[in-house]
Chains A and B, each alone.
Chain A
Amino acid sequence: MPFKQLLIEGLAMGACYGLFGLAVVIIYKTSEVVNFAAGTMAMFSTYVAFHVITLYGFPFWLAFLVSLFFAAVLGVFVEFFFIKPAKNPTLLGLIVITIGAQLLLGGLAGWKWTADQQAFSIPFSYKVIYEPIPGFHISQWAIAVFVIAFIIVTFLFLFFKFTKLGRAMRATQQNKHAAKIMGIKTDRVFAFSWAFSSVIGVTAAMLISARTILDPDFMMEPFLRAFAAAVLGGLMSIPGVLIGGGIMGLLENFFGYAFPSWKPITAFVVIVLVLCVRPSGLFAKHYVKKV
């Protein structure tokens, strides 16, 4: 068994899942909504980068910034026009709204960019490979994934721990009404969390599409993996999600190596097992049902 190769590839894809899982968790942390449109939103914003690169000849980094800005606006847009107008919504109602947003954005992307597969390149190529140990290869793409994941998680840790806005987001999650009484503008916090989540989502989506392919469905499967990673790590725990992503990537890679036919169900088995055995996930402290 090529242990080292499976380890590094599993961790790299796992880091992508973990990063994308963060996009899911950030919204869940503030509003307890599982955003099923997260994958499609990330896909849409990746297409924006692709669009400005191919049509207007933007250099990658400028297109990246445009895409981040668009993602933030899209996050606020979805929150403002889809989530906010819901009158006394139940949790299930909100989830259904996100599924509706997913269908709408997916349809729009198919109409605008067609369903044709496209190649999306980032400056860190999977074609450039290094061989630090004989027989063991690591691509520039995998190194970039690790570095970017590390930077984002460190930033999030510092953001939630030390910034006013980060603390406001945590307070809103813990008790929306108390946060309001304390002067926190919870509406803005919700809008910001959607924008923030969307920006992290598109970063992960770009890394995934650079290794796979770009089409309107390319984030469907990674979203499921990322969701499984988030459930595994704990939907309330930021480091937990990233670790969950790593475990998910490793599990899928090693299990897929040993039993290729069963690989596609790994994520579902993980979700079911975690929900049955430890519903709060591996790293969230405990599951509290709000009343």
Chain B
Amino acid sequence: MNIKKMLTILFVPVFAMIFSIDLGYARDVGFDDEEIRVGQWGPQTGPAAPWGAVARGTKLLFDLINEEGGIHGRKINYFIRDDQYNPSQTMAAVRDLVDRRGVFAFVGGVGTAPGLAVQSFLRQNEIVWVGVCTGARAFQNNPWLWQIWPDYFDEGAILAIHAAENLKFKKIAYMYQNDDWGADARVGIEAVLKRNNIKLLAAIPVEPTERDLSSQIARLQATGADAVIGIMAPTQAAIALRTSVSVGFKTQWLHSYNLCDFPLMNHITEGLWAREGVMTAAFTDNIDADTPIMNRYREAAKRLAPKERWGLFYTAGIAAAEPLVWALQAAGKDLSKEKVRDALNSITKRQGIGPVITWTKDSHLPPRQLRIWKCGPKGETIVVQDWKTITLESGK
């Protein structure tokens, strides 16, 4: 082998390695004098695609902040990765953002299973993570994660309280996504029903990929349930409602706060969401709320993201990112991870467009306040139960 060949063999892999690594990003700790790097994963495609708007809503807030000059002179460089609601892809996306882009913090991140797939990795790397978009209890007790999405136990509880105590339904059944989301909410539902001496008539699981729900609806119909509490993705909720209408099953549906985007749900159910008066839990302001902060975001969306639909999932992305912005502002110009952590731990009774947030060094738990909305006949939001704090012992 001649020298030229040997050099080629040696240098090609070395050069490939050098150029495949983004040295500018991997070197520091997620920020420099010019920018702070923040990431989020979310399903931009796949079965949970409507929830992809969350990550894009966060972008609106960061674009607005950048338009106003950034935070202490630093712009937010924001990365969105599509994981298709698939945990294996979430891991790949997060590794890319951490190892190659060197992000400082994560915001949101839709889904229990995708979040669980990356939780230990983010925790080990001590990466600030604010507002994971799930209320599953498996995310509690993580010192680098601050939660906004209400605990699914509380979500199940508020739905059951409204069905059993406000609406006085005695025959209540449950249809749920077969994962931690459905399991955690079930505990809350059963706790409320128990104190009202009501037995859950049936608990029927559904997989996020299922498209034919005839047998599940037949099972619910056979119980004669007056109300069905549903904890499932938009696609399955829409199909469940369509199927129940097609077999003449009349019941009051009460769904998760993850389905409180009424215009969207009304659209994909061809108006059934409004016709059947579906109710959902909620933990943010109504998107039509005439408040200074909501008006500010609405105007910003018209200017900075004119093609985006102004929907609940979109504004949820803003709500998820607000506390990180507050903490970055409070941390000052001399930024560090520890300062942001301390600032997040010091947020007390502060509210943006989400719920009132209080975090301490010892508790990063989500707020326990929720409300109930009903889809009105024209698809409008009717508040049927305003902010209510869940005081039920959650057994944590």
Contacts and interface: CB of A to CB of B under 8 A. Distances in A.
A127 B221 CA distance: 17
A33 to B, nearest CB: 25
Interface string B234-246: 1100110011011
Given A126-B246, A261-B178, A216 B45 contact: yes
Interface stretch (B119-127, B202-210, B295-303, B334-342): B202-210
B269 interface: yes
Contacts of A126: 242-243, 245-246
B50 interface: yes
A61 interface: no
Interface stretch (A94-102, A250-258, A273-281): A250-258
B235 A213 contact: yes
B247 to A, nearest CB: 5
Nearest to B206: A260
B222 interface: yes
B210 A221 contact: yes
Interface string B205-230: 11101111011101101100000000
A5 B248 CA distance: 10
Given A116-B49, A117-B49, A217-B46, A139 B205 contact: no
Contacts of A93: none
A137 B50 CA distance: 32
Contacts, number: 118
Interface in A237-266: 252-257, 260-261, 263-264
A228 B268 CA distance: 29
Contacts of B243: 126, 211
Contacts of B112: none
Contact of A115 (B52, B178, B205, B221): B52
B337 to A, nearest CB: 34
Nearest to A121: B270
Contacts of A13: 212, 214
Interface in A184-223: 208, 211-213, 215-218, 220-222
Contacts of B245: 126-127, 129
Contacts of A291: none
Contacts of A269: none
A142 B245 CA distance: 13
B45 A115 contact: yes
B258 interface: no
Interface string B245-283: 111100000000000000000011110100000000000
A142 B248 CA distance: 13
Contact of B211 (A139, A222, A254): A222
Contacts of B134: none
A253 B246 contact: no
A213 B212 CA distance: 10
A135 B184 CA distance: 35
A115 B210 contact: no
B234 to A, nearest CB: 7
A1 interface: yes
A264 B246 contact: no
A264 B179 CA distance: 14
A256 B243 CA distance: 15
A118 interface: yes
A9 B49 contact: no
A253 B214 contact: yes
Contact of B214 (A10, A213, A217, A225): A10
A2 interface: yes
Interface string A103-140: 00000001000111111010000110101000001010
Most buried by A among B47, B178, B205: B47
Contacts of B50: 116-117
A257 B178 CA distance: 16
A261 B178 CA distance: 8
Contact of A252 (B178, B205, B212): B212
Contacts of B270: 119, 121, 127
Given A213-B238, A215-B235, A5 B247 contact: yes
A141 interface: yes
B44 interface: yes
Nearest to A254: B215
A179 interface: no
A260 B247 contact: no
A266 B62 CA distance: 47
B222 A260 contact: no
A131 B46 CA distance: 37
Contacts of A2: 218, 221-222
A9 B247 contact: yes
B49 A212 contact: no
A153 interface: no
A165 interface: no
Interface in A125-163: 126-127, 129, 131, 137, 139, 141-142
Nearest to A111: B45
A232 B270 CA distance: 35
Contacts of B47: 215, 217
A221 B211 contact: yes
Interface string B28-62: 00000000000000011111011010000000000
Q: Which 5 A-B pairs have the closest CB atoms?
A: A256-B215, A115-B49, A9-B214, A126-B246, A115-B45
28 contacts: A2-B221, A9-B247, A10-B215, A110-B45, A114-B49, A115-B45, A119-B267, A129-B247, A137-B247, A139-B247, A208-B211, A211-B243, A211-B246, A213-B211, A213-B235, A213-B268, A215-B47, A215-B49, A215-B235, A217-B47, A218-B211, A221-B209, A252-B215, A253-B214, A255-B215, A256-B214, A257-B219, A264-B209
